[in-house]
Amino acid sequence: MYQIIAKETLTPVTKMFVISAPEVAQKAQAGQFVVLRVHEKGERVPLTIADYDRDEGTITIVVQEIGKSTRLLGQLEPGDRLASFTGPLGRPTEIENYGTVVLVGGGLGIAPIYPICRSLRAAGNHVIAIIGARSGDLLFWEERMRSVTDELIVVTDDGSYARKALVTVPLKELLESGQTIDRVWGIGPAIMMKFIALTSQPFGVKTIVSLNSIMVDGTGMCGACRVSVGGRTYFACVDGPEFDGHLVDWDLLLSRQRMYRDDEAIALERFSQPESQSNREAR
Amino acid sequence: MARSSRSSIARHSMAEQEPSVRITNFDEVALGYDLTTAVEEAQRCLQCRHSPCVSGCPVGVRIPEFIKALREGDMWDAVAKLKDKNSLPAVCGRVCPQETQCEEVCVLAKRGEPVAIGRLERFVADWEREHGIRVPPVASSMGKRVAVIGSGPAGLTAAGDLAKLGYDVEVLEALHEPGGVLVYGIPEFRLPKEIVKIEIGYLESLGVKIRTNVVIGRLYNVAELLESYDAVFMGTGAGLPMMMNIAGENLNGVYSANELLTRVNLMKAYQFPEWDTPVRVGARVAVVGAGNVAMDSARSALRLGANEVHIVYRRSREEVPARAEEVHHAEQEGVIFDYLTNPVEILGAEGWVTGMRCIRMSLGEPDASGRRSPVPIEGSEFEMVVDTVVMALGTQPNPLAFSQAPGLERNRRGAVVADSATGRTRLERVWAGGDIVTGSATVISAMGAGRVAAMDMHAYLMGQSRGPWLTAAEPA
Ligand SMILES: Cc1cc2nc3c(=O)[nH]c(=O)nc-3n(C[C@H](O)[C@H](O)[C@H](O)COP(=O)(O)OP(=O)(O)OC[C@H]3O[C@@H](n4cnc5c(N)ncnc54)[C@H](O)[C@@H]3O)c2cc1C
Ligand SMILES: Cc1cc2nc3c(=O)[nH]c(=O)nc-3n(C[C@H](O)[C@H](O)[C@H](O)COP(=O)(O)OP(=O)(O)OC[C@H]3O[C@@H](n4cnc5c(N)ncnc54)[C@H](O)[C@@H]3O)c2cc1C
Ligand code: SF4
Ligand code: SF4
Ligand code: FES
């Protein structure tokens, strides 16, 4: 079970995996995530479901390699098996015919908005997506995104590809253009989601974000993933991960994401030493 | 041996790791009896005709009988007598609150110290494990399928009993490791995980299939299970941590006990970075609460390197709900107990805990439950300097498993309403037992509930007891 069927390098820091998980694929919906362990001593890593194929029985994930666990995952090849794979977790995106919707995917956030765009479009919405990355080489899935949207706007921070702008710039232009926008989704790094929410707030357009707080079980049992929304504490893994971006306490999320920074550095350093004990064992 | 000489033998203590040594490791604290000590302790039992001890045990372990077999040297018979009523004796011998159960009502307790029933139980179970567990005969398959949700003591017991009767049992567990609280909650130094693994391996040898990584309420729901199984047992426990809802509770450095213990036990954070999951425990730790969960958190914090660990409890020592042995061990290890103290705010700087503002309490008149309720003493607020706070305030049933289970009635505290005599819920073909029904209780009561439900499920599935379906609901 949980065998890797295919792997693709999307950018220098992002890899895509197609994983055999027939039961999860049957049930997966846009907006949900999985928790996987790469090896027996591994962390439980939460990753968004970027795509699912019910016929093939597969789940697609896109991973940005930032620390030890994601780099270990990045080293796996087709044929390898994961130690565990649990899902689907979290509440699905609320799919309805809202009218015109704008989905903003920054960096890695392109992957999670893809299935949401597809579902929203199938529900009859006019789907506009804005995708962006720091530079052109970090951008992926442009064609895929085009296939599930009515309009696609591409930007890069440095202008090395497409238009030079932050994702919030075209979002603001759309909101100011006078056309009715019924709902916005913003997914990406927490700091980007914060600015997406701040951009749409003056226009009063409801904006949904997907909160990537630190998680352990993903089933509502530990409270590691606590977030504050509208002054109330929620467990992101079961109450979310999607919440109303205008009500999120962003500073708390950003602060809690840093909780293990020192330990993560230790893990990564040990992992990166070429012949360290943990490195050999991990393979 | 004469009765008088039996009662003149003093209760045998059990070897333990020295406190100064054991707080530097996660190895088991209590080392168990050797054969000679066990037999001598067994000699103390008076073999009372009415055996009050048995009625003190929630599953009615045949205590005098297994003790008799033990002292006569017939170990396999002791094993058989013990396991007749208790399928996880190595666990119960270690974690049962014996002093409020079997040992409390032992006749010797009235005149001095009770027979060390728990320690003997542990000894017999450990002996069996060392000599190779024998698998009892299992009835051939009846072609009926039962789903058991959750692999804690309630689910495992129900699964084992049903498998022995010839049902095809599948245990569906959300986490990647089966065992429930036995693997993610109770620490290694109290209950080695290897023991839990072996007990689970025994159940698998009975034919129980365990499927991990299956989250009911997400991957499947109860309504779907009823389509593909003849009966469903819900033993999902009480895994939802309660918080105090005071200011500062979301600061970095504030843990629910469940998170701290899950990181340490299930994810082996005490072996970080060899294992990948980290845990952050600072130099000064406050654990709020005084149950087993609080003791486990405090003692884990010490072992993770904390210099000073406080138990902050709003009542007094008399009301402490933890097992006596845990409190004793925590005191030996240097945990500081701040009784009649309650946090009102957690203080922080730059996102991290720096202290906790507390208020002193006094005990007022007894309330309806007979417990004296704590009342804040005005003007007694003070600050504690701490960098880590662990909330061990209790847990409630996690509602996840209930999604798409219309008809399942739950009470105000989120617990499932089930008949304590049968385990039947309001939803036909669905039984429940353990912490999901009672709220956080004990391993042995969860096992008892699993057994009761298994028996009733058998009667129902054999067509001997079709209805009425839950007439008298137990107020939980
Ligand atoms: C619901 C959800 C969906 C996610 N989807 C994706 C995705 O599709 N693709 C992707 O690449 N990443 C995703 N993430 C983030 C991903 O889980 C983390 O990047 C990963 O756990 C980092 O582990 P590491 O050991 O490689 O890095 P580390 O060095 O351990 O951590 C780097 C940073 O990642 C975050 N992080 C660390 N541990 C966890 C954890 N247990 N849970 C959550 N965040 C953590 C922290 O902010 C940390 O500072 C998602 C997170 C959540 C909660
Ligand atoms: C730290 C700690 C220390 C304790 N110490 C003692 C002690 O010393 N002595 C004692 O007698 N008792 C002790 N207890 C209490 C005792 O452990 C519990 O009463 C007992 O484990 C309850 O058993 P259970 O089978 O009902 O549930 P649990 O042991 O909680 O098991 C429930 C299982 O169901 C799984 N589950 C939950 N939701 C789902 C879902 N939706 N889908 C699939 N699976 C799901 C969970 O992951 C878990 O594995 C302690 C509890 C804790 C937390
Ligand atoms: S199971 Fe627990 S209560 Fe029963 S006899 Fe054993 S130790 Fe005592
Ligand atoms: S009550 Fe005590 S002495 Fe009597 S049979 Fe039970 S264990 Fe033995
Ligand atoms: S990750 Fe544990 S409760 Fe959300």
- What are B425-475's pLDDT values in tens digits? 999 899 999 999 999 999 999 999 999 999 999 999 988 766 656 554 444
Q: Kindly give the pairing relationship between strand A163-164 and strand A84-89.
A: unpaired
Residues paired with A187 in a beta bridge: A105
Q: Report the gap between the CA of B222 and the closest CA in chain A (Å).
A: 15
User: Is B138 part of the contact surface with chain A (CB cutoff 8 Å)?
Assistant: no
- Chain B residue closest in CA terms to A215: B259
Taking CB atoms and a 6 Å cutoff, what residues make up the pocket around ligand 4? B 45-48, 51-53, 63-64, 106-108, 115, 117
Close Cβ partners of A52 (under 8 Å, ≥ 6 residues apart): A24, A25, A28, A58, A59, A60, A115
Substitution target from A38, A41, A225, A256 for chain B, most B beta carbons within 10 A: A41
Closest residue to atom 8 of ligand 3, CA basis: B102
- Chain A residue closest in CA terms to B277: A43
Alpha helices in B44-152 (DSSP H): 52-56, 63-71, 75-85, 89-95, 107-111, 117-130
Strands (E), B208-340: 209-211, 231-234, 240-241, 254-256, 284-288, 308-312, 336-338
Range with the poorest average pLDDT among A17-31, A186-200, B8-22, B360-374: B360-374
- Within a 10 A sphere around the Cβ of B365, how many other Cβ atoms? 7
8 A C-beta contact, residue B391 and residue B244: yes
Residue at A81: amino acid letter: R
pLDDT of res. B466: 65
CB contact under 8 A, A24 and B219: yes
CB contact under 8 A, B276 and A252: no
CA pair distance A254, A209, nearest whole angstrom: 14
CB contact under 8 A, A221 and B398: yes
Residues paired with B145 in a beta bridge: B168
CB contact under 8 A, B240 and A220: yes
| CATH topology classification for A100-257 | Rossmann fold (3.40.50)
8 A C-beta contact, residue B116 and residue B144: no
8 A C-beta contact, residue B139 and residue B166: yes
CA pair distance B333, A175, nearest whole angstrom: 62
- Within a 10 A sphere around the Cβ of A114, how many other Cβ atoms? 26
Smallest Cβ–Cβ distance between B277 and the set A43, A219, A270 belongs to: A43
Smallest Cβ–Cβ distance between B250 and the set A44, A222, A252 belongs to: A252
Close Cβ partners of B205 (under 8 Å, ≥ 6 residues apart): B133, B135
Please tell me the pTM assigned to this model: 0.93
| CA–centroid distance, residue B283 to ligand 5 (Å) | 25
Nearest Cα neighbor of B304 from B352, B268, B275, B354 is B268
8 A C-beta contact, residue B376 and residue B359: yes
Close Cβ partners of A260 (under 8 Å, ≥ 6 residues apart): A214, B278, B280
pLDDT of res. A262: 87
- Chain B residue closest in CA terms to A2: B213
Atom of ligand 3 nearest to the CA of B53: 5
CA pair distance B430, B226, nearest whole angstrom: 8
pLDDT tens digit at each of 283 positions of chain A: 799 999 999 999 999 999 999 999 999 999 999 999 999 999 999 999 999 999 999 999 999 999 999 999 999 999 999 999 999 999 999 999 999 999 999 999 999 999 999 999 999 999 999 999 999 999 999 999 999 999 999 999 999 998 999 999 999 999 999 899 999 999 999 999 999 999 999 999 999 999 999 999 999 999 999 999 999 999 999 999 999 999 999 999 999 999 998 888 888 888 887 554 444 444 4
User: Is A230 part of the contact surface with chain B (CB cutoff 8 Å)?
Assistant: no
Q: Kindly give the pairing relationship between strand A207-210 and strand A242-244.
A: antiparallel
CB contact under 8 A, A86 and B241: no
Nearest Cα neighbor of B163 from B140, B197, B134, B195 is B140
Closest residue to atom 3 of ligand 3, CA basis: B57
Taking CB atoms and a 6 Å cutoff, what residues make up the pocket around ligand 5? A 215-218, 220-225, 235, 237
Closest residue to atom 26 of ligand 1, CA basis: A67
φ and ψ at A184, to 5 degrees? -120, 140
Sign of the CA dihedral with A224 first, then A228, A234, and A239 last: negative
Which tens digit of pLDDT belongs to each residue from B226-247? 999 999 999 999 999 999 999 9
Residues of B in contact with A264 (CB under 8 A): 278
CA pair distance B453, B73, nearest whole angstrom: 35
User: Is B250 part of the contact surface with chain A (CB cutoff 8 Å)?
Assistant: yes
8 A C-beta contact, residue A51 and residue A17: no
- Chain A residue closest in CA terms to B180: A221
Q: What is the average per-residue pLDDT within B284-294?
A: 96
CA pair distance A187, A189, nearest whole angstrom: 7
Residue at A181: amino acid letter: I
Helix (H) or strand (E) holding A60: strand A58-64
Helix (H) or strand (E) holding A70: helix A68-75
CA pair distance B460, B465, nearest whole angstrom: 5
Report the complex ipTM. 0.93
CA pair distance B37, A26, nearest whole angstrom: 58
Substitution target from A1, A27, A33, A219 for chain B, most B beta carbons within 10 A: A219
Mean per-residue pLDDT over chain B, rounded: 92
Say if residue B39 is exposed, middle or buried (CB neighbours under 10 Å; 0-12, 13-18, 19+). Answer: middle
Domain ranges of chain A: 2-89, 100-257
Which tens digit of pLDDT belongs to each residue from B183-217? 999 999 999 999 999 999 999 999 999 999 999 99
On the question of pLDDT at B380 being above 70, the answer is: yes
pLDDT of res. B474: 44
User: Is A83 part of the contact surface with chain B (CB cutoff 8 Å)?
Assistant: yes
User: Is A13 part of the contact surface with chain B (CB cutoff 8 Å)?
Assistant: no
Which of A33, A47, A261 for a ligand 1 pocket mutation test, highest count of atoms within 8 Å of Cβ? Answer: A47
- A276-280, B168-172, B409-413: which has the highest mean pLDDT? B168-172
Residue located via tokens 């009502």: B105
Per-residue pLDDT band at B140 (split at 50, 70, 90) = confident
Taking CB atoms and a 6 Å cutoff, what residues make up the pocket around ligand 2? B 95-97, 149-155, 172-175, 180-181, 185-186, 214-217, 235-237, 239, 261, 292-293, 296, 323, 398, 400-401, 434-436, 440-444, 446
| CA–centroid distance, residue B333 to ligand 3 (Å) | 26
- CATH: 2.40.30.10, 3.30.1490.20, 1.10.357.10, 2.40.50.140. Which one for A2-89? 2.40.30.10
Strands (E), B328-377: 336-338, 341-349, 352-366, 372-376
DSSP B224-251: HHHHH-SEEEE-----EE-----TTTTS
pLDDT of res. A282: 46
DSSP state of B473: P
Residues of A in contact with B170 (CB under 8 A): none
Residues of A in contact with B293 (CB under 8 A): none
Nearest Cα neighbor of B453 from B123, B93, B35, B167 is B167
Number of CB pairs < 8 Å for A and B? Answer: 109
Residues of A in contact with B175 (CB under 8 A): 217, 219
Say if residue A177 is exposed, middle or buried (CB neighbours under 10 Å; 0-12, 13-18, 19+). Answer: exposed
CA pair distance B451, B448, nearest whole angstrom: 5
Smallest Cβ–Cβ distance between A89 and the set B212, B218, B278 belongs to: B218
pLDDT of res. B403: 82
